[in-house]
Structure formats: C-alpha cells, structure tokens
Amino acid sequence: MNWTRIGAIVAILLDEIAFTVFFFGVLPAFDVYLPLTLYIGVMVILVAKDIIAIKFIWNIIVKQPEVGREALIGKIGIAYTDIDLFGLIRIDNELWKAEASYPIKKGEKTRITDMDGLSLQVESVSTDED
C-alpha cells in the first residue's frame, strides 16, 4: 500500500480522531462529562459515513494515472505519418510527436518506450514480436 492510499485513509478517519480527542480530552478538561453511549452512538454514525464514503471514492484512490509518463510508456499506438526519425503517432485518438531510431511506416503499430517532454520515443511492435 503506497503513501497516497494511507494518507487518504487517515484523512477519512480524521473526524473520528478529532471527535475522540474532543470527547475524552477537551470536555473533561472543562469538567464536562457526557455518557459513553453518546460517544458510541456518534462513532457508529461517523464510521458508517466513512464506510459509505470509502465505497464511493476507493476507485479514485487506487486508480492508475491516465495521463503522464507512467500512463503512456508501454502503450500501443499507430504511426499517423511515416516516422523517419521524427513523425506523428495516434494514441487513444490523440496525436503525439514521435521519435524512432529507425524508420517506421505509416499505419504500423508502435509501442512507447520513453517520453522526453511532449515527444515520445517509439519502436515498431512487429519488429519486437518477430
């Protein structure tokens, strides 16, 4: 589990932590004592709220990035133009500048191997599989 997920879970649990500190720390400091059943009732409501919230946002927390270097490397695209060192490829209906170390024909499948700014380093898929 990475730090982003741990941070999201802690952020969701902050209201329970704050309520516990308030109930057992702040109120007794002012000689205010409430029944434990009130604490348990409020905690049940807060935990139920958190379970519902986690159910709706968990996919967002664990979702892989859709943009950026991590999302693009390894993807398969199609050469939109002949790539003779430089050209264009289409990935997910978007055109990207591409660089290749050898010529790639228009319409040929390509795999992204690296990203340099907004330019993608590509190689031919058919060359790798042969």
3-state secondary structure 47-116: HHHHHHHHHHHHHHHHCCCCCCHHHHCCCEEEECCCEECEEEEEECCEEEEEECCCCECCCCEEEEEEEE
In eight-state DSSP terms, residue 123 is E
Q: 44-53 pLDDT, tens per residue?
A: 999 999 999 8
Q: What is the reported pLDDT for 25?
A: 96
* Residue 1: band (very low, low, confident or very high) from pLDDT cuts 50, 70, 90: low
Of the chain, the percentage scoring pLDDT greater than 90 comes to 66
**Predicted confidence (pLDDT) per residue in 71-94, tens digit:** 889 999 999 999 998 999 999 889
- For the domain made up of 69-129, the CATH class stated in words is mainly beta
**pLDDT of the residue at 56:** 86
pLDDT beyond 50 at 130? no
Residue 95 above 80 pLDDT?
yes
